[in-house]
Amino acid sequence: MKTLLFLLIAVAAIIFAGCSGNSNKQGNEKKELLPQPNIVLILGDDIGYSDIGPFGSEIETPNLDRLANEGIRITNFYNMAKCEPSRSTLFSGQYTGGANSVNFAEILKNNGYYTIHSGKEHWMRWAPDRVFAKNVFDKSLTFKAMSEFFEPPSGRFKNPFIFNGDTINSVKNIYHEKEPFYKTDALTDNALKWLDKPVKNRQPFFLFLGYGAAHYPLQARPEDIAKYRGKYKIGWDKIREARFEKLKKLGILSKETKLSPPTSNINKFRGHKKDYPEIREKIPLYRPWESLTEKEKDDLDLEMSVFAAMVDRMDQNIGRVLNYLDNNGIANNTIVIYLSDNGSCPYDSNRDFDYPPGVAEGFRSLCAGWANAGNTPFKYFKQYGHEGGALTHFILRWPKQVAPAQITHQTGHIIDIAPTLLEATNIEYPGKMDNIMPQPLEGSSLMPILNGKEREEPEFYISGWSERFRMFRQKEWKIVKLNNEAWELYNLKDDPTEITNLAKQYPNKVMEMENAYRAKQAELKTAAQ
């Protein structure tokens, strides 16, 4: 009897030990919770793929260089090719939203984050009122589409600022530390002032900085312009070649990559005003630099010097933010992201030519030659679904979690940012918010990439402004439209700069991808209803 009792006890002990072992194993396999990080998300405006130092530029961007050296660069990262769809997709996590869309910043706020929006806000028409900054963020200073960088001589901006929900048009009502008022500086002034509250209270925060640089009008502080004046007289051809070589040297591009032929702006839906026809007929065209007159070269050197100065000033302000994080001892657990909303912009939005680029009285825009250089090594521009319009530089730094000095050629999309940040903050996407059932997120988290692993390639990516410039990508294959013409087809693995259109060679592939796009488009529209 004692022997039987001993055997039963022994068997029970073995079973208990086995169960305990399995329980511990399951516990170890559970996802490790990460500390909630702060988030700084910076979105450049109309800044081309190679317009910043870490992606090939000669423009001085030491603070973006620092972020790249201390973080990760994703070389194949898509936006939506234009201002409002990129911002709408960024904050909603959806290609096509609707009444049940939410701003992911609201989810962060509902889970204890202090939220700040300082900069441009531009939503698609489908956006419900609840997603706007005035209804989501604790503090906000926004403007729609574009506004001047200096105070206009009239004292009234083309688009007014919205300060915590109130419309303001005078710089006297916008906090700024340096005269004359300059928008890029003022946006940082307000952001840093507002950060003091959550930092003092040790509350996690989300800061969005939408600088508006370097969207037209071309306006910059004189001291910044002076740094570049004369450096661009070598012309856009040599600038483009130099950036291309630097991109290969940095490892952003493979040595086998070919530089696409220079392109003019052939978007017939962005026409030119009637005044100054002799000047305006040249703005959308690429012309070999050596074919220009000395006067044209000097004028265009100034144009690009102002653009460079705007990017430079943005970088200086990013440096102010990084210094703030350092000085408050919170840099290690703060995610900092930088990307652009679309490729460089070649559109003739000049109001007149009585004033040169740079000054408050002027309202000038970049020409196609410089925009083409900004999008090196790709062709075409903002709005286009081709890589020059839809591919952005992407940098992320998170010292506590992401290893420094990484470059990855995996793909990502602006639609992936919301799910990434929700995973990074250990916050689940809600099944219900107030009286709505939030429309599901359509992207996927970048966390595997940030952790040095291979992410499962998403089934598809969409970009391009409207159906006239639509792009649809699956793995290495991509179809894209040009001014609503027939689909073009590219194999981006073999031809990343889209030199060879394979549509005639593989018509069945085009048909297959078009059918897949139409099916996905229908699914997305259904989800948005």
pLDDT digits (tens, 9 = 90+) for 378-418: 999 999 999 999 999 999 999 999 999 999 999 999 999 99
| pLDDT of 274 | 78
Which of 31-40, 138-147, 276-285, 287-296 bottoms out in mean pLDDT, i.e. has the lowest?
A: 31-40
Q: What CA–CA distance (Å, rounded) separates 424 from 419?
A: 9
Instruction: Give the pLDDT band of residue 529 (cuts 50, 70, 90).
Output: confident
pTM of the model as a whole: 0.93
The alpha-carbon radius of gyration of the chain (Å, integer) is: 25
| Res 321 pLDDT > 70 | yes
CA distances from 215 to 14, 284, 519 (A): 70, 17, 35
337 forms beta bridges with: 41, 396
Q: Is the dihedral of CA 162, 311, 447, 405 positive or negative?
A: negative
Scanning the structure block, which residue is given the tokens 């989810």? Answer: 107
Structure token digits, residue 365: 């825009």
Q: What percent of the chain has pLDDT over 70?
A: 93
Q: What CA–CA distance (Å, rounded) separates 26 from 139?
A: 43
| Res 19 pLDDT > 70 | no
DSSP three-state, residue 416:
helix
- Phi, psi (deg, nearest 5) at residue 475: 55, -125
Q: For 210-231, what is the mean pLDDT?
A: 98
Q: How many CB atoms lie within 10 A of CB 456?
A: 7
Phi-psi region at 24: left, alpha or beta (left = phi > 0; alpha = psi -120 to 50): alpha
CB 206 within 8 A of CB 116: yes
Which regions of 86-145 does DSSP assign to beta strands (E)? 114-121, 139-144
Q: What CA–CA distance (Å, rounded) separates 144 from 212?
A: 10
Encode pLDDT of 175-184 as tens digits.
999 999 999 9
Which residue in 301, 263, 270 sits closest to 285, CA to CA? 263
Strand 114-121 and strand 72-78: the pairing is unpaired
| pLDDT of 270 | 79
Q: How many CB atoms lie within 10 A of CB 251?
A: 12
479 forms beta bridges with: 472, 489
Q: How many helices (H) and strands (E) does the chain have?
A: 15, 15
Q: What CA–CA distance (Å, rounded) separates 452 from 436?
A: 37
Q: How many CB atoms lie within 10 A of CB 28?
A: 8
334 forms beta bridges with: 38
* CA 206 and chain centroid, separation: 16
Instruction: Give the pLDDT band of residue 169 (cuts 50, 70, 90).
Output: confident
Structure token digits, residue 493: 């693995």
Q: Exposed/middle/buried for 120, CB within 10 Å: 0-12, 13-18, 19+?
A: buried
Identity at 234, one-letter amino acid code: I
| pLDDT of 8 | 40
Q: How many CB atoms lie within 10 A of CB 233?
A: 16
Q: What percent of the chain has pLDDT over 90?
A: 90
Which of 5-9, 423-427, 493-497 bottoms out in mean pLDDT, i.e. has the lowest?
A: 5-9
Identity at 141, one-letter amino acid code: L
Structure token digits, residue 300: 């265009």
| pLDDT of 417 | 98
* CA 90 and chain centroid, separation: 8
DSSP three-state, residue 19:
helix
Q: How many CB atoms lie within 10 A of CB 212?
A: 24
Which of 157-171, 265-279, 365-379, 511-525 bottoms out in mean pLDDT, i.e. has the lowest?
A: 265-279
Which of 232-236, 257-261, 307-311, 351-355 bottoms out in mean pLDDT, i.e. has the lowest?
A: 351-355
Pseudo-torsion of CA 403, 405, 411, 414, nearest 10°?
A: 80
CB 525 within 8 A of CB 436: no
CB 119 within 8 A of CB 209: yes
The length of the chain is 529
State the fold for domain 38-454: Alkaline Phosphatase, subunit A (3.40.720)
Q: What CA–CA distance (Å, rounded) separates 89 from 462?
A: 11
DSSP three-state, residue 446:
coil
Structure token digits, residue 156: 């009234």
Encode pLDDT of 444-503 as tens digits.
999 999 999 999 999 999 999 999 999 999 999 999 999 999 999 999 999 999 999 999
Structure token digits, residue 412: 């990502």
Encode pLDDT of 118-141 as tens digits.
999 999 999 999 999 999 999 999
| Res 26 pLDDT > 50 | no
CB 370 within 8 A of CB 344: yes
Q: For 6-32, what is the mean pLDDT?
A: 38
| pLDDT of 268 | 77
| Res 331 pLDDT > 70 | yes
CB 43 within 8 A of CB 90: yes
24 vs 95, which has greater pLDDT? 95
Instruction: Give the pLDDT band of residue 32 (cuts 50, 70, 90).
Output: low
Q: What CA–CA distance (Å, rounded) separates 470 from 383?
A: 9
Which of 202-211, 345-354, 417-426 bottoms out in mean pLDDT, i.e. has the lowest?
A: 345-354
| pLDDT of 24 | 32
Average of per-residue pLDDT values in the chain: 93
Strand 471-474 and strand 461-463: the pairing is antiparallel
* CA 31 and chain centroid, separation: 29
CB 49 within 8 A of CB 392: yes
